[in-house]
Amino acid sequence: MSEVDLPPTSADAGGSENENDELGLLQRLQSYSSMLSLLLSPVAIILVSVWVSNEAMGGGGVSWSEGDAKRVFNWHPVLMIVAFSIMNVAALIFRVSGTSSYQTSMRGLSYSGTKRRGEMKAVHGYIWISCFIIGIVAMMAVFKSHNDAESGYIANLYSFHSWVGVLVMSLYTLQLLVGMFAFGGFTSSNRLGVPTVMEIHKYTGAVLHLLITATIMLGIQEKEGFIQCGYEVTDGPDTIPILNFGKIPSACKISHGLGIVVLLMGLLTSFALARFPVL
C-alpha cells in the first residue's frame, strides 16, 4: 500500500521560478509514468493468458482436475499476474485520482476532496485484500499440482523462486495487516495514524511492488527452464543470435515479452511513487 508523497516546495516570494518549473516537469513525468504503467496492466494479463494457452504449457489452458497437474499449475502464473496488475492500480490510485498527500498539501483539501480521498483509500484497501485472496489461490494451485497422485508427486518449495515467493507473500500479509489496523478503521485509536507510520507504510508498499516484480520475473525464468527455450546450433558459433530468433520456441517469446512488460510496470510505478527533492 503506497501513494505518491513528494515534498512540498517553498513557494514564497524568494522562490525560484526554475524550481517550480522543474517540480512541474517531474510531476508531469510521474503522471505519464503512472498512466503508462496502468495501460500495461491489461497487456500483462493478455500475455499471460496467451502464454498458458500455448501447447508447451502442459498442453495449453487451465484446469482444476486431478490427473491434470500441468494445467492446474497454469493457474499460478495467471492469477499472480492478475493480482500484480490490479495491485498496480492500488499502488497508483492516489496519484491518478489527484488525492496524493503531495497534491492535497499544495492546494488544500475541501470537504469533497476529503470525501474523495476517503473513497480512494477504501478502494486501495479492498484491492489489496482481493490481491491477497487471489495470491493464496495461486499458491494453492502450485501445491495442488505438485501433490497430484495421478500425475505424479513433485517436490514443493525447492526453488529459489519459491523461497522468495513465500518471503514476499509473508511481507505482503504483514503490510496488509498493518494497513488495516492503522488506517482501516479497525481501531478507535488515532495514535497509529501519525505521519511516521504513514511514511513507513508508503515506503514498504513501494518496496513490495519491486519485490513482487522481481519474484514474478524469477518465476518466468524458472518456467522457461522447463520449457527449454534454447535451440540447437549446428552451423558454427551463434555469433549473431538475432538471425536465429525464429528458432526460439513461441512460448518463450511470449514469456520474454511478459517479463519485459512486468519489468516496465515495476520501473514505471517505482518512478511514479518516488520522492524527488526540489533541486
pLDDT, tens digit, 9 for 90 and up, residues 158-183: 999 999 999 999 999 999 998 888 87
Q: What percent of the chain has pLDDT over 70?
A: 82
What's residue 186's pLDDT? 59
What's residue 18's pLDDT? 42
- Return the minimum-mean-pLDDT range out of 46-50, 97-101, 213-217: 97-101
Residue 74, SS3 per DSSP:
coil
Closest C-alpha to 88, from 175, 180, 202, 212? 212
pLDDT classification of 196: cutoffs 50, 70, 90: confident
Closest C-alpha to 258, from 5, 46, 60? 46
What's residue 98's pLDDT? 74
Residues 108-155: pLDDT tens digits? Answer: 555 455 677 788 888 999 999 999 999 999 999 999 999 999 999 999
Enter the pTM of the model.
0.85
What's residue 4's pLDDT? 43
Name the residue type at position 9: T
The residue to which cell 496488475 is assigned: 85
H helical segments located in 57-110: 69-73, 75-96, 101-107
Q: Compute the mean pLDDT over every residue in the chain, rounded to the nearest whole number.
A: 85
Task: Report the alpha-carbon distance of residue 62 to residue 155 in Å, rounded.
Answer: 21
> How far does CA 25 lie from the centroid of its chain?
25
What's residue 185's pLDDT? 64
The angle that helices 75-96 and 111-146 make with each other, rounded to 10 degrees, is 170
Residues 34-74: pLDDT tens digits? Answer: 999 999 999 999 999 999 999 999 999 999 999 999 999 99
